[in-house]
Amino acid sequence: MSKGKTRFDFSDQTVVVTGGSRGIGRQICEAFAEAGARVFTCSRRPPQDPYRSERITCESVDVRDPEATEAWLARCAEPRGGIDVLVNNAGGAPSIASEEAPPKLTNKILELNLNAPLILSTQVHRHMIDLEDGGAIVNIVSISSHRPTPKGAAYGAAKAGLMNATSSLAVEWGPKIRVNCVVSGLVETELTGDHFGDESSKRQITRAIPAKRFARAEEIAHAVLFLSARDSSYVSGAALEVYGGGEWPPTVPQPEDD
């Protein structure tokens, strides 16, 4: 699949994406719109630049507020009488030593990264279950769900919980609603410098990745479209790992850089 292009067809489908104003979420919105979908997204702040497609509508919605998300999903479903795809993308957390993290911050991290996507999934159920082809839910789950996350224990725990919720809901809601997750590795976005430092620091990080680079946001978007597509109708409860091969084992010497 070529960079920035998709061969999936989502014509006449309604797709909802949380956290779609920038980064991975924005690229997911653009990819679905390019594939023909009508896309509804939300964020805490409006996008700085206009979307490439007029098929994308963005609202200001706090995904941690169940009443606000319930009303928003109803608005998204109204044009076609349902929602075909939900992508739970909104998330994140600051890096902080666990012993210094105030309880209020820990609760906010869990609300955003676990509670919100779980509640949104239960709310979207009514907008999918009666559709002829059912619906698809895709959760964006970090590689932090797989490994220790020092200075991010609450975030890693939330993502691990979301992975469990993914497989649990896939069993409970099959066959009409498929639920999958994308296990995302390190992704190059406009915020990469804030998280991973300068170019020297980023090179040191990517040395441990077999692909020798960060993922591009569109590569995560392509994985989301694959899991959402009706052609993937037998894929449910899956965790699609998109992280460039994982990490080089710390006990094995790495090859010298070319």
Going by pLDDT thresholds of 50, 70 and 90, the confidence category of residue 34 is: very high
The mean pLDDT of 222-227, rounded to a whole number, is 97
Mean pLDDT for the chain? 88
Q: Which of 27-31, 40-44, 96-100, 187-191 has the lowest mean pLDDT?
A: 187-191
Going by pLDDT thresholds of 50, 70 and 90, the confidence category of residue 45 is: confident
What is the C-alpha separation between 5 and 45, in angstroms, rounded?
27
Q: Which of 51, 155, 234, 243 is catalytic?
A: 155
- Using CB atoms within 10 Å of the CB of residue 205, give its burial: 0 to 12 exposed, 13 to 18 middle, 19+ buried: middle
Q: Would residue 155 show up in a list of annotated catalytic residues for this protein?
A: yes
Please report, to the nearest 10 degrees, the dihedral formed by the alpha carbons of residues 144, 148, 151, 157 taken in order. 60
The mean pLDDT of 188-196, rounded to a whole number, is 59
Q: Which amino acid is at 51?
A: Y
What is the C-alpha separation between 70 and 64, in angstroms, rounded?
11
DSSP-assigned letter for residue 81: T
The mean pLDDT of 220-249, rounded to a whole number, is 89
- Using CB atoms within 10 Å of the CB of residue 53, give its burial: 0 to 12 exposed, 13 to 18 middle, 19+ buried: middle
Q: Which of 45-54, 133-142, 245-254 has the lowest mean pLDDT?
A: 245-254
Q: Which residue has the higher pLDDT, 212 or 186?
A: 186
State percent of the chain over pLDDT 70.
81
Q: Which of 79-88, 118-127, 190-199 has the lowest mean pLDDT?
A: 190-199
Spatial neighbors of 117 by CB under 8 A, at least 6 apart, are 18, 63, 88, 90, 91, 139, 162, 165
Going by pLDDT thresholds of 50, 70 and 90, the confidence category of residue 48 is: confident
pLDDT of residue 217: 85
Going by pLDDT thresholds of 50, 70 and 90, the confidence category of residue 7 is: confident
Going by pLDDT thresholds of 50, 70 and 90, the confidence category of residue 40 is: very high
pTM: 0.89
DSSP-assigned letter for residue 212: S
What domains can be seen in the chain, in order of their start residue?
14-186+217-239 (3.40.50.720)
The mean pLDDT of 225-229, rounded to a whole number, is 98
The mean pLDDT of 44-69, rounded to a whole number, is 94
The mean pLDDT of 186-207, rounded to a whole number, is 62
pLDDT of residue 1: 40
pLDDT of residue 2: 42
